[in-house]
């Protein structure tokens, strides 16, 4: 738990140099091992470690190092999707893992900016899994916001991924999200 907390503090920095140093020192792999080891049984440890991962990849400036970092997250796609699926299944009443779902949808949205990572997410069933979480947590505004951001990034440039999004049934769910937005415009706004 302490390692996950410290990692989250170290990774939150706009300084590209720090992000590059962490990546070069296998920070991504260390975070994945932390998520996999302590995050599977402790929701707070899971949120902290996944938050550290998000902090590491979210503010990428677009330079070569940041693009390589985001692309390398594709190697973690299967494990991260399975990790989140396990927490979603454990969260029977839809209240335990809301914050973790939001964090992970933001991680997936950030990963999806990279074509390499987006294709990996696609191959590991991200379309169907993300939709299932958006449906399960349908009344949670932040889940819907993060899910929509994921969709925007995920389907942005790849026709096959757009087809996967369409065939997964997103449009029915997004129609409901838009109805909620029309009834309450703050639903999708921060």
DSSP for 27-69?
Answer: HHHHHHHHHHHHTTT-HHHHHHHHHHHHHHHTT--SSHHHHHH
* Cα–Cα distance, 41 to 63 (Å, whole number): 36
pLDDT at 76: 92
145-163 confidence digits (pLDDT tens): 999 899 888 888 776 777 7
The mean pLDDT values, 10 residues at a time, for the chain of 190 residues are 58 58 76 86 91 81 71 91 94 92 96 91 93 92 92 82 75 75 71
pLDDT at 108: 96
DSSP summary character for residue 156 = S
* 157 alpha-carbon distance from chain centroid: 18
Entry pTM: 0.81
* Cα–Cα distance, 51 to 104 (Å, whole number): 8
Q: Is the dihedral of CA 74, 107, 19, 161 positive or negative?
A: positive
pLDDT at 9: 55
Q: 36, 83 in Cβ contact below 8 A?
A: yes
100-113 confidence digits (pLDDT tens): 999 999 999 999 98
Residue 27: partners with Cβ closer than 8 Å, 6 or more residues away: 7, 11, 56
Q: 13, 19 in Cβ contact below 8 A?
A: yes
């Amino acid at each position: 738990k302490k390692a996950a907390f410290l990692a989250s503090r170290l990774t939150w920095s706009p300084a590209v140099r720090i992000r590059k140093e962490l990546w070069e020192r296998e920070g991504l792999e260390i975070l994945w091992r932390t998520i996999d080891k302590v995050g599977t049984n402790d929701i707070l440890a899971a949120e902290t470690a996944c938050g550290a991962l998000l902090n590491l990849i979210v503010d990428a400036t677009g330079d070569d190092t940041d693009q390589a970092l985001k692309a390398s997250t594709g190697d973690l796609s299967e494990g991260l999707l399975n990790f989140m699926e396990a927490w979603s299944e454990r969260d029977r009443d839809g209240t335990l893992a809301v914050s973790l779902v939001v964090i992970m949808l933001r991680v997936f949205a950030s990963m999806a900016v990279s074509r390499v990572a987006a294709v990996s997410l696609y191959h590991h069933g991200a379309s169907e899994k993300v939709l299932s979480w958006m449906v399960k947590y349908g009344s949670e505004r932040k889940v819907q916001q993060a899910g929509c951001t994921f969709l925007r990034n995920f389907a942005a440039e790849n026709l096959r991924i757009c087809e996967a999004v369409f065939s997964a049934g997103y449009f029915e769910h997004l129609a409901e999200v838009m109805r909620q937005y029309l009834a309450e415009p703050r639903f999708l706004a921060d």
